[in-house]
Structures are given as C-alpha cells and as structure tokens.
Structure 1
C-alpha cells in the first residue's frame, strides 16, 4: 500500500465520520518557541490551549513535520527521520476517550476493502497511563484486548503536557509487533525495536499549574472542554504495510537511496556504516526538498541553518561513500518524483527549489576544498610541534566557522597519522548547544506569555475597518501593563490596549504598523506599535499621553492619514516591482520577503546572480510605466483554491485560511494574495526609484526603492549634486563621467609616483640603518622607527633587505612605521638568529602587545600591529628586551 494511499484512506475515513479535513500547515510555524512544525498538534495549539476558539468541533489532517533533535539517530534506527508526516484526528470538546479509541481501532483493523488498513488485531499492543483505569477498560471493551496486551506505563512515556501551565492529560499508544526476528517477546515495555509505536492518542482533560518539569506539576482540575489530540506516524505505518524493514525503504524515500547507491557504486545491505550513510542521504534530501518547497532557504542562522546542515550532512555522506563531485542534480529529482503525487508543489516549483539546492552544494564543495587547505596547515603545524592530536578548538573552528564536518576532520587527521582532541571539541559543542537551548527556553517563555491574551480572544476577533475607514469608534476590551492584565493605564505609562474594532493596521505581510492615536473621554494614547499576538486579535502598544484609560471605555482609533497614504504607495509599489521582475527575469524570480513603510520598499526574490545596470533600468521602467498607465487596483475575498487557480502568487511561509484577499493591479498582470493596504489606481503610487540591489544569501537578491515624494526628493538631491559637479568641474552634465574618470586616472598616477618616491626614499635609508646595528645578547639587531610609510609591503621589503645586509651572524631586524594612521612592526630573522632561539613570530607578538594589538607569523618574518602609534618606540624597545633576556 503506497504512502499516499494510506494518507488518503485516513482522510476519507474521518471525513465519513464527520471530521473537517484541514490541509497541512507549512513546515514554517509562527510559534515563537519553535523553528518548525515539529508535531502534528502545533497548528492546533491555539485551539487546544483555548487561546483561540476552534472553528470546528472535529477535524482530521495529514501534517508535514520537521524534527532534528534526534538527527544523530537518523539512519541508525528504522523510525527516525527528520521529515515525517503525522495523520491526526482532533476533537475540540466533542468526542473523548471512547470515541478516539473506537475510531483508531476501527480504522487500523477494519478491512482494506472498506477503505481501512486491515491490520491483524493479534499484531497490535496498547499502552496507557498507569493511573488511567478508564482507558484501560475501554481498550478491553472496544478492542477486545486481554489485560496482558495493555501495558500501564508512567508519566515519562504516557502523559502529555507542553511543560508549561495549561492543558495536559494522559495518553495511550498503539504498537505493532514486528515479530520475534526483531527482538524479544513481552510487549512495548520490553523492546521498542520489535514493538513499533504507530499511533498516540492524547486525552487532554486536565489543567496543570506549578510546572517544575514536563512530568512534575500540580493538576488543578478538569478542563471545561476536553480535547482529543491524536497522531499516527505515516512513515511508520507505510514501512509496515509495505513489508520493508524501515522508513528509508518506503516508496517516498527509497528512490533517493537507490540513486545514491548507483552514484557511489556500493551495494546497499553490504556494510552497516555505508547503509547508515545511504539512509541519511535519502532522509536529508527529502527533508531539504520539503523545506525548500515551504520557502526556507539555506543560511547561517535559524531555519536556514537547519536546512544547510541537512544538505551538508547529505553531501558529507556522499563523500564518505567515495563521491566527491556534485550529486544533487541526481538526488533531488529522485526525491521530487517520489513526492510529487502527495505534494505537487515540489514538481511545479522545482526550478526554484533546485536552484537553491544546486547552489548550496556548489558552495559547500568549495568550502570543503578551502577547509581542507586550512586543516592540512593545522595538521602540519601539529606535527612540526611534535603533537599527536589536533587541538579541539581548531577542529571546532573548522566546524563552526567554516562548516567543515567533524567526522571529515577525523578521517583526514587519521590519514595524516594524527588523532583529534575529541573531548575538547565535544566540550565546545556542548557549550554551543547549551547556548542554543537557553535561547530556545527564552523563546518558550515568550510563548507562555501569550496565555494573557486567551480571555480577550474569546470575546471575538478584532474587526479591522482600515481598508475603508481612517477613524473607527469602538470600546476598550482589555489593557495589559508590563504584560499583565490591568483595569486602567495612566498618563506616562506604556500599555497594550485591545479594542473591539480598529482602523489601525497591524504589522503583517511586510507592511509595518500604522501610526496614529486612540482617543476617548478624558484621555489620548499615542500608538507606538500594532501587532497580532495571537490569530484574530490586534494589540495596540501605546503611551498614555494624557488622562487615564480604563477597560470598557469608548475609544476611537485614528490613523495618521499621511503616513498611511505613503505606506499604501510603498506596498502597491512592491507589487509593481515584483511583476516587473517577473516580466524581466522570468517566473522563477519569486518573492522571498518584503518590507514596506512610508516612502520605502525592499523586495527579496529568488535569483542567483547580481542584476546588470541595464536589467535594473528595465525593471524600474516597467514599474513606472505601470504607474503611468493608471492601472486599476482591485481587491476581493475568494476561496484559496480559486485564487490559486487564477494564478495568484502567495508568499512562502505565510499562513492562509480557506478564504483569502486577492489584490489585482491591471488584472492578472499583478495578482497576489495580500492583506495589506493599497492605492486605488497605480498612478497614486507616484515615482518608483530603485536605489539598491544586493545579495542576501545564496540564490537570494534584494532590491530597494524609494517611492512617491521620497523618490522625488532623492532624485532632486542627485540633480543638485550633478549641478554642483558641472559647475565645479566646468563640464557639461553629459561629459561628467568621462571627466571624473580622467581625474581619477590622474590621481592614481600621481599616487603611484608618490609611492615610488617614498619607496625609493626608504631604500636610500638602508646604509644608515645598517650602521645603526647594535649587539643585543647573541644577536646583531636593527630596531628602528621609520616614521610614516606608504605601505606595509614597503616596510617588509626594507626589513628583508636589512636582514640580508647583516651577514651570516645572528641577525634580527625590527622596523616600525605608521601606515595609514596605524602602527605596524615587521620582524625578520636570519638562519643564525633562529638557530640561537630568535623567532620572528614571537617577537612580533611582543611588539604588538606594546601597541595595544596583536601579531604573529612565521619564524623568519612576522608582523605585529595595534592602535597606539605613539607606542612604536616602546614596542621596538620591548623586542630588544626580549632578545636580551
């Protein structure tokens, strides 16, 4: 039974049983405590926690998930994968334990001919929370299981909570017995390789407080509405139904593994270590493809870092299998073809996805080449120093700064006859992980703070009237001061105010929040920010500028009309520039982010190279032609599927409901899903002036533009500057580029002549400097300050010439100079001096310490520098003192 068929059977079964089928949310979650959707319940947290009323009583879904906390186990066990799919059925105050158990057992054991899965009941075992007698009895009655097939387990495995105050409850898990060839008999409590968990039923029935850990808390009572949260692992069910040993051999994953086998020339099943690498590749390529399809791009932080890590682990595994060249052009198409039936977007958008993937592989292959050079130098230095192990901090630097994998470092070090101080490396890694966990805990605390909005959200959604009105009369539903509910806020205080209706736009979709005021009887509030802390609720951060505001009072939100007008211009300009980019570059240039504020817009898009001046001019002209043509701007609310069928573009990672707001400019020429505010016709945008284009990561570019009056003022300033140049240089405007080029060339020629004179002047000082050589200890030493020099290279060249003039005796040269306003000291030693113990690198460090900086280098020539040029005499004296010691 194919994986996609299992999912389809699941959805059809629960739809027949009155469940609303909910599409999968993005892998990118807006939960501040999470980078990704790590479990099927994540999109439903607002409903399960009671912060937002559930829009349905019962639902079912197939949710995409990414989880990397067990990444080191990928490939080693039959069930650990970074990307996985959870089949879930949900009840919000509707059916409870009996219903959940009935549905689960019926779907699992019902006949395949009836659209169910056809598991043999004798292969299924169940666990319940040790104190949940109700679930124990229900399993006996509904499933007919004997008591020895129902294991009672403790809180560590069979009790669910978020680790925060709020909802919690016991859970019950269903396991499949793979048979005696996979382990010992006795049920789930004895062997989790033989007995594979396939379904978890959470009975969310209690409220908890005083949470000391995930399993240490105080139950304060039952929830008024009990919920059901279930999750069945699609990949786990698939490998059982397909009769294979693990999830990596299922129909959605195995094709990538097979392609890796072909590329490597090695056989799957012949060697355990190779098999683990094949599975890592199969898992990570699929996970990378799915992350890319949800708008994540490789980077050095956050979600992008996780994606980069997955890709690089796959590349590293291919390398360890003996393949050094590019492999993504073979592996990613295999994953695309395996996943396209379940997720058509991976095929429809493959040109964009593959551009990121292939560019990342090319970048990392260059990184590996560069890292190998650095590692080789470190290994050589370790050997020269008589060491047997590469320092842990050097291995960590390669890993953390250059992305060089530790196991590759271990492999290359072993080939060089050295080990790696793995203990020191692991300590540094643990410290880094501790910092990451501390950051995650701080984000989790931020999530906990959202509970203060629960009661306010239960009063209904905030109505946004700002599409048509700039003033709206309403009332104060709630006030928060320092994050806590309050009855009132007084003059001078900063507070959050929630209104029933508002004309003020909350920051979203790239558009910044409105400016404005909220006024009422006896008070006025300056609006500092407007946000949506939870779905459907708008919160205004305000400063009470006069009077006192209280809950229940009348309130009128007033938008700063000039700022809103300019923000609308910028947002509509963003749509025009997006359409112009696609006209110029093609349909693969899609939006990757934006920011719109009054008078300014920036737009990030997928593209792998910088834009030429001609291309930028063409984009600017197309966008301004659209302004000139006074295109009609229309907005309408339509079903999401209808909007997609009409070709509306959506922002990756943005969450959309069943209905969406679609913005057209000139009909289908620019058609996007957008909740922002816009002009009525394109002519209202005014002038669009591109002022910047830059890279914001691999295969991502950014254009920036000024809009409306800001664009005009910028161009007027440039006109004034050009006028000043034409007057000063007495050159017509059209001849300015040639005149400035001429002057620049003349200046460079003059600088070269001056540098040549300065170099010659330094060289002329050579005989006098030789005469100043003195004996310090066992060395003949020249330690002099040259004053100012044109370049460090000049000082270095003179030092080397001086060293040669000192003859065969132990000679040390230390020359100081001020170069570009900063002090530098060059130290050079000859063979005899080095034989007597004088090392240039060590002496340069001594000098640099006196200069307030750092230095070092080879034993024969080295450099030190700092910030205090007045300390050059002291630095040279320190070199002499070190030689005399």
Structure 2
C-alpha cells in the first residue's frame, strides 16, 4: 500500500466516524515554544490549553512535523527522521478511551476492502499506564487482545504531557511485532526494535505542574473535560504495509536514494555502512528541506533558517563524499562534478506533492532556493579547505599529528565545514583529528540548545486572559471604510490580568468590539490613534496587535480621565499616519510588480515592512541588482504612479484568486476566502489584508534608496514614497548643487570630475606610501650594521620610523631577512604610529635559525604582552600589534634572552 493511500485511508476512516478533517498546518506556527511543528496536536494546542473553544467536538488530521534535535543521528540508524507525518484523531470533551481504542483497532485490523490497513491482529501489542485498569479492560474484555500481549509501563513511557504545565494524561501505545528476525520475544518491554510503536492514544484527563523531563512533575488534578489526542506514524505504518525494514526503503524515500546512487556512482545497501548513512541523510534532509522551503523558511544564520541551511548543506556534503568515493574506485558517472540539488529536490516535489499540492505549485521557488544554497556552500567548502590547510600546517609545524578538537569544531560550527571532510582530508595529510575533543564541544553546543529550548518552553505566552474575547468572535475591523468608529470596551487587561478600569498614566490593553485601527500584520505596521469618550476620557493608542489572529489588542496609555469596561467610546486613526502607511503599503506592491517585470517571476517576496513614507521589500535573487536594473525598477514604479491606476480590492476564493494570477506570499497561511488588491489590472494583483491608497497617483514619487543582501539568495530593496521621497530628492538635489558649485562645473559633469579627483587622490596616497616605505627602508638600512649578537644568533631590529603599516613592516622584515639569509638570524621590527596608540610588530627568522629551534611564532607570543598586544604566525614569519610603545625595549630584551638561552 502506497504512503499516500495510507494517509488518505486514515482521514477517510475518521471522517466516516464523524470527525472534521483539518488540513495540515504549516510547519512554521506563531508559537514561542517551537521552531517547527513537531507533533500532530500542536495546531490544536490552544484548545487543549483552554485558550480557545474548539469549533468542533472531534477532528482528524495528518500533520507535517519536523524534529531536528538529533540531526547528527539521522542516517546512522534507521530510526531517526527529521520530517514525518503524524496522523491523529482528536476529541474535545466528546468521546474517550473506549471509542478511541475502538477507532484505532478497527482501522488497523479491518480488511483493505473495508477501508482498513489489513494488519494481522496477532501482531499488535498494546501498552497501558501502570494503574490504568480501565484501558486494559477495554483492550482485553472488549477488543479481545490476550492479557499476555498487554503490558503496563510507567510515567516515562505511558504518560503524556506537552512538556509544560497544562493538560496531560495516561496513554496507550500500540506496537507491531516485526518478528524474531528483528529481536527477542517479550513485547515492547523486551525489545523496541522488534516491537515498533505505530500509534499512541493519549487520554488527556489531568493537569500537570511544573518540572523537567518526562517524569519529573506533579499531577495536580483532573481536567474539566476529558479529551483524546492520538498520533499514528504514517511512515512507520508504510514500513509494515510495504514489507520493508525501515522508512528509507518506503515508496517516498527509496526513489531519492536511487537517484542519489545514479548521481554519485555509489550503491546503497552494498555492505558499506558509511555510504548507507550518507544516502539516508540525502533522502531525509532533502525531503525536510523541500517541505520547509514550501512553508516559507529560507536558509539563514539563525533560528529556522539555520536549521534549513544545515539540512541542505548536509545533503551537499553527503553527495560530495559519495562522489569522491566513486571517483576513488573508478565508478564515478560522467557528470559527477556537476550540481545535483536541482535534480534531488525536484524528485522530492514529485514524490510528496500528491499529498501536499503546494509543493508542485512552488516547485520553481523551492528548487531555486536549494540550488542557490548548494552554490553558496560550494564556496564555503572552498574557503573551508583553505582554513583546513592552515590548521594542518600549524599542526605539523608544532610537531603534532592530531588536529585539535577546537580547530575541527571551529571549522564545523563557524565556517560550516563538515567534520567528515575534516577527517577525510586529515587522513590524506597524514594526520588524525581529536574526535573526542570535537565531540565534547558538540555535546556542549547541543546542551546549550536543549537549555534554550527549555527556556522557551517556560516562556510560553499565556493567552487564556483573552479566551473570553476569542470565544466571542473576531473584532470587527472597520478601517477599510472609515477612520473613526463608535465602539464598546469589551475588556481591559493590565500586566496580564483583567481589570475593571484604568486611570491616567496607566499602560494597558483595550479590547473593543469594533475598531478602525489596523493591527500589525503582513509587513504593515499598526496604526496609531486615540480612543476617547464624550466626557473627556482620552487614551493614546501606540500599537495594535492580534490575539489568535482575530481579536484586536489596542496597546494604550491613559492620558485623561478614567476608562472602564463597558464604556462607549470613539476609536480614531491618526489620519496622517494612515495616509503615509497606505502610501508605503501600496508602494510595496508597486515595487514588487516592477521587480517581477525586470527580473522575472522568480523575484518572489521573502518579506516586507512598510511604514509611513518608507518601504522595504525582500525578494529571492542570487545576485545584486545592477545600477541599470535599479533605475528601471524605479522608472516602472513611477510610470505606474503617473498612470494613476485605480486600486480595487475584493474578496474571492483562494483557488479563484490564484487562477486570476494573484501573487501569494510563500509560507503564508490563507483561508478559503482571500482579499485581493489589484492595482492597474494586470500590473499588480496580490493577496493582501492591508490598507491601500485609492489610486496609484496617491503614492507619490517612489525613490529607491538602497539595495543589499540580507541572507543567502535574499536581496532587499528600500525606498521612500510620498513626501518622504520628495524630501529625500530635495536633499540630494541640494547636495549635488553644492558639489557643482565647489567644483565649478555643471551638475551633469560632477560625476566625472569627482572620479578624476578620486583617481588623483589614490595616486597621491600611493606616492606617499612609497615615500614612507623608502624612508623606512633607508632608516632601517643601518639596522644590519647595528645588529647585535646574542649567543650565536644575529639579532636585527628595534624601532622603525616612518609609521609603516602591518603590510609595509612585513615587507621590510622580509627584505632584511633576505640580506642575512645565510646567517643564523632573527629580525624583529617595531613601528609605533605617529600618535603612539598603535605598535605593529613583526618577527622573521632565517632557515638556519629555524633549524636551531628558533620560531617566529613563539617569539611573537613572548613579546606581544610587553607592548600590550597580541600576535601569532608561522615559524618563519609572525606578527602582531600592541598599544604601548614603552614596551619596545623590554620586548627586544626578551627576544635577546630567548635566543641566547635556547
């Protein structure tokens, strides 16, 4: 049975049993506890925590999940995956243990013709919590499972909670016996490799207190309503129904491994465990990466972006290592050195899109992001190879044969250089790597990550204070049609608690039944304004946010009077602010349309921010805009302004909007009904919930003020609109007029004249530097004549006048060393700056000195503290910088002592 069929059968089974199907949520949710959705119940958390009332009594879903804590373990065993699909059925105060167990058993054991999975009931072993006699009785007396196949387990195994104070309860897990070939008899208690868990039925009936781990907390008491939360692993069931050993051999992952085998020239399952690990990494990580990109995640250096970057880079790394192995054995395919990410990610889209059609819709975007990261990482690997070479040279120079764990960790963590490549290259260089030291540092990093995750869990935002308002229904937003609205105060919240009234000076949150003030979302900043009453109460609104994406939270300061719950008020938007905000937001749409016209449809939005008079727009692109492209984008935007296009907004179905060509933001979750903003018909059509101008001329001039990189494959355009654009242009015009006057040329000749002046200045600076170097060399010419002998070593050096920089000083030291190359000699030069705040220094040694154990790097470390600085380098040449010129003489004395006493 194919995985997509397994998934659909689950949903059909529970829909038939009266459950509402809930589509999988995005892998990225607005949850302070989670980087990614990691369990099927996560989208239902507000219902289980009591923050919102569920709109249904029973539901079912197949949720996309990602867990990344054990990334390094993926592939080493066949039990770790980063992406998986968790099928679940949920009851919110409706049915409980008996029905949950019955639903699960019938789906697992009913025949395929009856809509079930057709699993042999003799292969199934349920477990229950230690004192859950009720669950055991249902399994034994009603389902008919023999008592010897029902096992009781403790808090750690058969008691579930979210990891934070809140709902919890005993659970009953269902295991499948794979047979004696996979381990010993005795049920899950004896061997969880032979008996694999496929379904967990959680009987959510209690409330837990604070504490860490799976069993270090107190059960506080019963929940008001008993709930059901179950999770069936789609991939694990696929293993069973497809008769394979592990998920990597199922229909959704094995094709990726087969493709990787063709691309690299290596074989999977040929007895080489290391190769098999790499194949599994490619299949697992490529699939996870594609799903993450499809939900709006982009490679970056922190948070979710960093996880995605690690996944993609591990794919590239594994492909490279497999290819290197095939090249060594002479089995490499003809195109072994070509990029592979495009082919791999395209296949992932093909295999997963039957269940997740958005992947096919976003194919080009997903592939482009992955390919760009592959190209970026190739450059990183090149840089890492140079860094590795430096570490290897330093290791050999220190007469060591092992690269330190610290060096290996720095290469891995800071520069993204994989430990496998470090090990391979070390072996080629005749070196080993301190794996123990590296592993310890990795463990420390992982411990910090776990501590951070724990901290995030304890910081879970308590939205229960707003539950009454969420249950009441959404705030009516009137701001599309009016800027002033009559409203009723539904509630006041101060310091996380409801209050009945507030007086001048207090800061609090006001909940209204209706509001014209825009709540921050979609890149548009919140409106500011006022809330007033007829008898002199005045509240200053400084921000508006949303609770549960539906209730407006007005953050206010009470300026005058006393506000109370139930008051009738007037909510008003600052009209000047709104005018500028609509200019910025509509201007963002204009710039987006212009970018797509200049760069093509791949220049999709990756984020935006607009406020009165200003906009910034992030878009996908692998290279900077040229000057001509920037001008063209600006011209297209302003041509649309001049055309005075009408701006239309309307609501329609999501499918219909996409068919019309409306552009959607990648990663954004849209409902069935969406709002479309159309500017000039086909010129710009986007899904958007923000406020906009009535016609494009109201945006005013658009002036692009900057373009920069904000991450791998992501560029940012910034622009002014309206009066801010005019003020910027006026300031630029005044600056140009001033330059033209100073240079005594017409304005259109200023660029050429400035270029001439810059060229002359550079020539002059080079001449000054040449004269300074000549002066220093002339002054240093007598250093050899004044050299002293310490023991049998010639010591050349001391103060060098002329203010040489580090490069000049190094060149001078090299020249002097050449003049005494046949001697056992050390050159030590110090060149204090004119203001006496910096002391660059350099030490060089001749070959004879090095053969006698005198190393420049060691000498620099000896003298650097004496001049208040630091330094280092190789045995033949080392340098540093300090801040204390008074230390030069003691430093020379120290060098003299060291070479004498060697």
Pairwise TM-score range, normalised by the shorter structure: over 0.9
Q: What displacement does 1:777 show?
A: 6.0
Partner of 2:215: 215
- Bigger mean CA deviation after superposition, 705-714 or 623-632: 623-632
**1:298 corresponds to:** 299
Using the TM superposition, give the Cα deviation of residue 218 of structure 1 relative to its aligned residue in structure 2, in angstroms: 3.6
Deviates more, 1:591-600 or 1:97-106: 97-106
Question: For the Cα contact (< 8 Å) 2:798–2:830, is it kept in 1?
Answer: yes
1:532 maps to 2:546 = yes
CA displacement, residues 229-264 of structure 1 (integer Å, 9 cap, x when unaligned) = 222111111121122221111111111111122233
- Correspondent of 2:342 among 317, 329, 338: 329
> Using a 3 Å threshold, how does the CA distance of structure 1 residues 479 and 878 change in structure 2: closer, same or farther?
farther
Aligned pairs (5 A) from 1:305-324: 305-323=306-324
CA shift for structure 1 position 142: 4.3
Pairwise mapping of residues 95-110 of structure 1 onto structure 2 (< 5 A)? 95-110=95-110
Residue aligning to 1:712: 726
What corresponds to 2:328 in structure 1?
A: none
Which whole-Å deviations, capped at 9, do the CAs of 1:418-464 have from their partners, x for residues lacking one? 33222322222222223222322232223243344434533443332
Which among 687, 690, 693 is matched to residue 676 of structure 1?
Answer: 690
In 2, the alpha carbon distance for the partners of 1:770 and 1:16 equals 96
1:624 correspondence with 2:658: no
Moved more, 379-388 or 291-300: 379-388
CA contact (8 A) 2:828 2:841 kept: no
Where do residues 58-457 of structure 1 align in structure 2 (5 Å cutoff)? 58-211=58-211, 213-271=213-271, 272-323=273-324, 325=337, 326-457=339-470
Q: What are the within-5 Å matches in structure 2 for residues 747-826 of structure 1?
A: 747-775=761-789, 779-789=793-803, 791-805=805-819, 808=823, 810-818=825-833, 822-826=838-842
Which of 656, 659, 682 in structure 2 is aligned with 1:645? 659
After superposition, the C-alpha distances for 1:35-90 in whole angstroms (9 at most, x for unaligned) are: 11111111111122221221222222221111122334433444432111122222
The one-character-per-residue Cα deviations of 1:612-663 (angstroms, maximum 9, x if unpaired) are: 1111222112222222222222222333333333332222222223322222
Question: Secondary structure of 2:191's match?
Answer: coil
Is 1:581 the equivalent of 2:581? no
Q: Distance in 2 between matches of 1:52 and 1:720?
A: 58
How far apart are the structure 1 equivalents of 2:382 and 2:891?
A: 40
Query: In structure 1, what is the equivalent of residue 620 of structure 2?
Result: 606
CA distance in 2, matches of 1:24, 1:142: 33
Q: Deviations over 1:659-717 (max 9, x none)?
A: 22222222343222222111122221111111111122222111111111111110111
Larger deviation: 514-523 or 557-566? 514-523
SS in structure 2 opposite 1:678? Answer: coil
Indicate the SS of the match to 1:321.
helix
Question: Which 10-residue stretch deviates more, 828-837 or 34-43?
Answer: 828-837
CA distance in 1, matches of 2:596, 2:834: 49
Cross-structure match for 2:330: none
**How does 1:649-664 map onto structure 2 within 5 Å?**
649-664=663-678
Change (3 A) 1:488 1:766: same
Residue 34 (structure 1) shift:
0.7
Deviation, 1:468, is 2.3
Distance in 2, Cα, partners of 1:184 & 1:96? 34
User: Helix, strand or coil for the counterpart of 1:705?
Assistant: strand
- Preserved CA contact (<8 Å) 1:259 1:331: yes
Indicate whether 1:560 and 2:574 are aligned.
yes
Contact conserved, 1:843 with 1:879, CA < 8 A, in 2? no
2:333 corresponds to which residue?
none
d(CA) in 2 for partners of 1:850, 1:533: 61
The offset of 1:284, in angstroms, is 1.4
2: CA distance, partners of 1:211 / 1:402: 37
C-alpha contact (below 8 Å) 1:825/1:847 kept by paired residues: no
Deviations 1:343-374 (A, max 9, x none): 23333322222222122222223322332332
> 2:857 — aligned with what?
841
d(CA) in 1 for partners of 2:198, 2:390: 50
Match of 1:743 in 2: 757
Retained in 2: the 8 A contact 1:111–1:117? yes
Q: Give a deviation string over 1:287-336, Cα, whole Å, max 9, x none.
A: 11211222212222111111121122222323332447333233223323
Q: Secondary structure at the match of 1:696?
A: strand
The number of residues matched between the two structures is 882
Give deviations 1:742-767, integer Å, cap 9, x for gaps: 22222222223322322322233244
Which of these residues, 875, 886, 889, is aligned with residue 859 of structure 1?
875
- Which residue pairs with 1:872 in the alignment? 885
* Pair 1:852–1:569, CA change in 2 (3 A): farther
Q: Distance in 2 between matches of 1:622 and 1:536?
A: 37
- Partners in 2 of 1:840 and 1:479 — Cα distance? 71
Q: TM-score, normalized by length of structure 2? A: 0.92
**113 and 479 in structure 1: CA distance in 2 versus 1, 3 angstrom threshold:** same
Shift, 1:730, TM fit: 1.3
The change in CA–CA distance for 1:433 and 1:290 in structure 2 (over 3 A counts) is same
Per-residue Cα deviation, 1:104-130 (whole angstroms, up to 9, x for no partner): 222222222233322222222212222
Unaligned runs of 5+ in 2: 325-335
Corresponding residue number in structure 2 for 1:21:
21
Query: Partners in 2 of 1:245 and 1:746 — Cα distance?
Result: 73
Query: CA 1:218/1:553 → structure 2, altered by over 3 Å: closer, same or farther?
Result: farther
CA 1:691/1:100 → structure 2, altered by over 3 Å: closer, same or farther?
Answer: same
Moved more, 70-79 or 387-396: 70-79
- After superposition, the Cα gap between the structure-2 partners of 1:555 and 1:836, relative to the gap in structure 1 and judged at 3 Å, is farther
Judge which range, 793-802 or 743-752, deviates more.
793-802
Candidates 476, 481, 485, aligned match of 1:468: 481
Deviation at 1:816, TM superposition (A): 1.3
Residue 389 to residue 746, structure 1, CA distance change in 2 (3 Å): closer
CA contact (8 A) 1:789 1:795 kept: no
Q: Which range moves more in the overlay, 589-598 or 431-440? A: 431-440
Residue 735 of structure 2 is aligned to residue 721 of structure 1:
yes
Bigger CA drift: 547-556 or 443-452?
547-556
Residues 668 and 153 (structure 1), Cα distance of their counterparts in 2 relative to 1, 3 Å cut? farther
